[in-house]
Amino acid sequence: MSARRVAFVTGGSRGIGFGIARCLAADGFDLAINGMRPADAVGDALAALEQLGAKVVYVRGDIGSATDRASMLAGVREGLGALHVLVNNAGVAPKERKDLLEATEDSFDYVVGTNLKGAYFLTQAAANWMIEQKRKDTKFRGSIINVSSISATVASVNRGEYCVAKAGLSMATQLFAVRLGEFDIPVYEVRPGVTKTDMTSGVAEKYDKLIADGLCVTARWGFPEDVGKAVAALARGDFPYSTGQVIMVDGGLTIPRL
């Protein structure tokens, strides 16, 4: 069993997830990293985390699959022996951006199955494991952090399924925060804005112009480490009396302005 606290970051081998993992590793966490790519394709990322002092295990799988979720948690238990922090970061964009009046059920099922259903039931399973640990050790400190998006409240009619999934994840945060209150396991939502990752690379030119024209109060793209710093503060336990709350990491994009 790891002598250090353990965080499980879904989608943690690249993009926002890797930014989160780097910050957690630097903060002294050992890490379980989930992704869909073969282990040999994420070797460089895992090595970078190990260089920061973390023990790292890779648990490949699709969080939208019940079988894979069970296998991943079994891998965390076998490899690290404990779970203190679950970071629900893994997410997918629609395979094709389509107008709300033309979007397909297949796309809806694909996006919601990963971004909402997968995270919801992974949280359920992880929460039960955390409760088990808490009952064995009253000093156990657990937390769950959901990485959603400004799309939880900002409507994009060409990717409605993504917005619906993130809005649902926001409510899931509140639901689990209430349910886990008796066990003193806080649940948080971190809501990134426009963040420079491979997911946004296809719309980089569009957002470069919008940011230059004043889209954000802080006049730049967000970066994975911006989200990572917020998640690390929550994971450390810096906000123990703020369960169920939303931490905005959007450069002020969602501030109403005239």
Give CA–CA dist 253/250, Å, rounded: 6
CB atoms within 10 A of CB 173: 27
- Helices then strands (H, E): number in the chain? 8, 7
Please calculate the CA angle 183-82-242 and round it to the nearest 5 degrees: 35
DSSP secondary structure string, 2-47?
-SS-EEEETTTTSHHHHHHHHHHHHTT-EEEEEESS-GGGSHHHHH
DSSP 8-state assignment for residue 256: -
- Where do we find the tokens 């906000």? 239
Q: Which two tokens stand for residue 208?
A: 């470069």
58, 120, 162, 188: the catalytic one is: 162
Residue 162: active-site member? yes
Count CA atoms closer than 13 A to 19's CA, side-chain side.
20
Question: Per DSSP, what are the bridge partners of residue 188?
Answer: 145
206 Cβ partners below 8 Å, 6+ apart? none
The DSSP element (H or E) to which 249 belongs, if any, is: strand 246-249
Give CA–CA dist 148/90, Å, rounded: 10
* N-to-C CA span, the chain: 54
The residues assigned a catalytic role are 162
